[in-house]
């Protein structure tokens, strides 16, 4: 495949490729900053984007793409078709089995893919009810059912627990013998052994084409780490000036808590509290209840009112002011990312964190506007201030949502896979900043990640979901499970 003088445009994003030759036996990783054009390239390969200029010779006929944008788009379609408001029953959306059947009617092929993606236990589940990792496995299955000659995976391990990360690595080793792989990634340490070459996108263009060995020794990786270290200091100083003092007593407590759906218990008998000075990591496989627990704390789960819960000095269901609680909590999650469907400006996204709203619906003060501009500057997003949220890359959107969570200096910070979709620099920046937030007690973290490289050394308290049971533990040093 030979790509010549290619120009791709989508909203504020652009990508230009002067010349790129891809041999059939090569498997490529696409690396670059958020907004550099990685996702544009994936969408173009998949036929979702028409080039403004250029040509491509020798492109494969069958291409399949798995991306965070596609995942979000399917969830939005399922939500748009939700008819719960017109009936007295909850609409779970199309089941996994129905979605697979839409793509491929051959039973033997579907069964093979179901086993490859570990979907046997999810076939009857509605797509809207799946966890982020479970959703990701469904998206991979839909791609494989198209029997691609070129498989493009945008952030292939996003949301997958440790067991399914290893399963995907094993699967990619097998797929590399059957089709060509192209992995768009911000995590070069997770690239499978089959990857032979790296394309680096910079300044909205293809800037470098390297062998994987050349990339491993590239000095740019160390320079990015040093840059992230400097920026993270500035973020911590910004938070130090705005952090709120938590109330006396536990920040959160739940007594004999449980969550159940349609007679199926997700977890039960949970008695747990977050004391002043503690930071927690929640660990466990996809679908075990980690995100549900965060939503119980935040108050966005309906069963938070059927449990004995206290948050920041307030008892749930006692006539408490929801705003009084939420103004002290910052939240980052895939579900929040999905809910943020309004196309307000990047500046308004950060401002909305001061009001815990999706978009801005009231007059803001000049002081608040300057406060939001400061957080855009701290995250290196100032030039995007007036850009529409929906026009930005997934990684840029995610970084804005992190700034939105921090802008009010929350006493409690709930982080559900915050680094999902971030590029190398952004991820190091966020992780460095979160580590300092924990170390200097600028907020209290409740943190979910499936990536060992993202563990924070200053988190010493853990909740583990193991075989349907919950274990609470403390360590003297950092560890990852």
- On whether both 211 and 241 belong to a single domain, the answer is no
Backbone angles phi, psi at 195, to 5 degrees: -65, 125
3-state class (DSSP) for residue 436:
helix
- On whether both 292 and 309 belong to a single domain, the answer is yes
- Residue 480: the pLDDT is 43
**Do the bridges between strand 2-10 and strand 53-57 make them parallel or antiparallel, or are there none, so unpaired?**
antiparallel
Higher per-residue pLDDT: 28 or 359: 28
Q: Does 364 fall in a domain?
A: yes
Closest CA to 399 of 15, 11, 14, 34: 34
Q: Does 188 fall in a domain?
A: yes
Answer with the one of 197, 220, 243 that is the final residue of a domain: 220
Higher per-residue pLDDT: 419 or 239: 419
Phi-psi category of 277—alpha, beta or left, where left has phi over 0 and alpha has psi -120 to 50?
A: left
- Residue 238: the pLDDT is 75
Q: Does 281 fall in a domain?
A: yes
CA distances from 437 to 407, 431, 444 (A): 14, 10, 8
Q: What confidence tens digit (pLDDT) does each residue in 129-188 have? A: 888 899 999 999 999 999 999 999 999 898 899 999 999 999 999 999 999 999 998 888
- On whether both 156 and 262 belong to a single domain, the answer is no
- On whether both 204 and 347 belong to a single domain, the answer is no
Greatest CA separation for the chain: 67
Total domain count, the chain = 2
**Do the bridges between strand 280-283 and strand 28-32 make them parallel or antiparallel, or are there none, so unpaired?**
unpaired
Of the candidate ranges 36-45, 48-57, 220-229, 370-379, the one whose mean pLDDT is the lowest: 220-229
Report the predicted TM-score, pTM, of the whole model to 2 decimal places: 0.85
- On whether both 256 and 144 belong to a single domain, the answer is no
Kindly calculate the radius of gyration of the chain based on its CA atoms and give it in whole angstroms: 22
Q: Is residue 253 a contact partner of residue 310, using CB atoms and an 8 Å limit?
A: yes
Q: How confident is the model at residue 247 (pLDDT cuts 50, 70, 90)?
A: low
Q: Is the pLDDT of residue 479 over 60?
A: no
- On whether both 298 and 336 belong to a single domain, the answer is yes
d(CA 40, CA 69): 11
| 475 burial type by CB count under 10 A (0-12 exposed, 13-18 middle, 19+ buried) | exposed
d(CA 85, CA 327): 29
- On whether both 328 and 379 belong to a single domain, the answer is yes
- On whether both 264 and 203 belong to a single domain, the answer is no
Answer with the one of 164, 186, 220 that is the final residue of a domain: 220
Closest CA to 157 of 130, 128, 181, 192: 192
Closest CA to 410 of 439, 442, 368, 365: 442
Q: Does 246 fall in a domain?
A: yes
Q: What confidence tens digit (pLDDT) does each residue in 262-314 have? A: 678 888 889 999 999 999 999 999 988 899 999 999 988 888 888 899 998 88
The residue range of the domain holding 288 is 227-474
d(CA 212, CA 199): 9
d(CA 170, CA 164): 10
Percent of the chain with pLDDT over 70: 93
Q: Does 321 fall in a domain?
A: yes
DSSP annotation string for 239-269: HHTTPPPPPSS-SEEEEEEEEEETTEEEEEE
CATH number of the domain where residue 186 is located: 3.40.50.300
Q: Is residue 142 a contact partner of residue 71, using CB atoms and an 8 Å limit?
A: no
- On whether both 249 and 396 belong to a single domain, the answer is yes
Q: Does 479 fall in a domain?
A: no
Q: What confidence tens digit (pLDDT) does each residue in 202-211 have? A: 888 999 999 9
Q: Does 322 fall in a domain?
A: yes
DSSP annotation string for 156-222: TTTT--HHHHHHHHHHHHHHTTTSEEEEE-S-GGG--TT--EEEEEETTEEEEEEEHHHHHT-THHH
Of the candidate ranges 65-69, 264-268, 381-385, 452-456, the one whose mean pLDDT is the lowest: 264-268
Answer with the one of 220, 244, 270 that is the final residue of a domain: 220
- On whether both 192 and 256 belong to a single domain, the answer is no
First to last CA, the chain: 42
Mean pLDDT of the chain: 88
- On whether both 50 and 93 belong to a single domain, the answer is yes
Q: Does 480 fall in a domain?
A: no
d(CA 219, CA 283): 34
The whole-number average pLDDT for the span 224-234 is 71
- On whether both 370 and 326 belong to a single domain, the answer is yes
Higher per-residue pLDDT: 82 or 120: 120
């Amino acid at each position: 495949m030979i790509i010549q003088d290619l120009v791709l445009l989508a909203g504020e994003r652009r990508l230009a490729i002067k010349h790129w030759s891809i041999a059939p036996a090569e498997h490529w990783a696409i690396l670059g900053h958020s907004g550099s054009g990685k996702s544009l390239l994936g969408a173009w390969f998949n036929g979702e984007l028409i080039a403004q200029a250029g040509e491509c010779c020798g492109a494969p006929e069958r291409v399949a793409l798995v991306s965070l944008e596609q995942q979000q788009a399917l969830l939005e379609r399922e939500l748009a078709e939700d008819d719960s408001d017109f009936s007295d029953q909850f609409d779970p959306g199309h089941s996994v089995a129905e979605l697979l059947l839409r793509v491929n009617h051959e039973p033997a092929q579907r069964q093979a893919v179901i086993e490859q993606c570990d979907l046997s236990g999810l076939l009857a589940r509605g797509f809207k009810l799946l966890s982020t990792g479970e959703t990701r496995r469904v998206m991979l299955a839909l791609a494989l059912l198209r029997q691609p000659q070129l498989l493009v995976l945008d952030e292939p391990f996003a949301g997958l627990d440790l067991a399914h990360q290893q399963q995907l690595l094993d699967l990619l080793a097998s797929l590399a013998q059957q089709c060509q792989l192209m992995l768009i990634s911000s995590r070069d340490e997770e690239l499978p052994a089959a990857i032979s070459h790296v394309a680096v996108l910079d300044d909205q263009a293809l800037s470098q084409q390297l062998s994987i060995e050349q990339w491993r020794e590239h000095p740019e990786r160390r320079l990015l780490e040093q840059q992230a270290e400097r920026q993270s200091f500035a973020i911590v100083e910004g938070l130090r000036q705005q952090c709120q003092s938590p109330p006396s007593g536990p920040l959160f407590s739940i007594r004999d808590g449980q969550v159940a759906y349609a007679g199926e218990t997700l977890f039960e008998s949970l008695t747990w509290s977050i004391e002043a000075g503690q930071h927690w990591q929640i660990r466990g496989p996809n679908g075990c209840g980690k995100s549900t627990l965060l939503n119980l704390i935040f108050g966005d789960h309906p069963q938070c009112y059927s449990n004995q819960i206290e948050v920041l000095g307030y008892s749930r269901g006692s006539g408490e002011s929801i705003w009084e609680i939420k103004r002290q909590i910052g939240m980052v999650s895939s579900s929040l990312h999905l809910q943020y469907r309004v196309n307000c400006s990047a500046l308004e996204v950060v401002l909305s964190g001061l009001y815990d709203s999706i978009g801005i619906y009231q007059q803001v003060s000049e002081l608040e506007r300057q406060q939001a501009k400061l957080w855009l500057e701290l995250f290196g997003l100032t030039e995007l201030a007036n850009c529409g949220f929906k026009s930005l890359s997934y990684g840029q959107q995610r970084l804005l949502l992190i700034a939105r969570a921090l802008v009010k200096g929350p006493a409690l910070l709930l982080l559900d896979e915050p680094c999902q979709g971030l590029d190398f620099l952004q991820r190091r920046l966020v992780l460095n900043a979160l580590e300092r937030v924990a170390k200097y007690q600028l907020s209290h973290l409740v943190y979910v990640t499936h990536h060992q490289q993202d563990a924070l050394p200053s988190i010493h308290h853990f909740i583990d979901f193991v075989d349907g049971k919950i274990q609470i533990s403390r360590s003297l040093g950092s560890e990852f499970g």
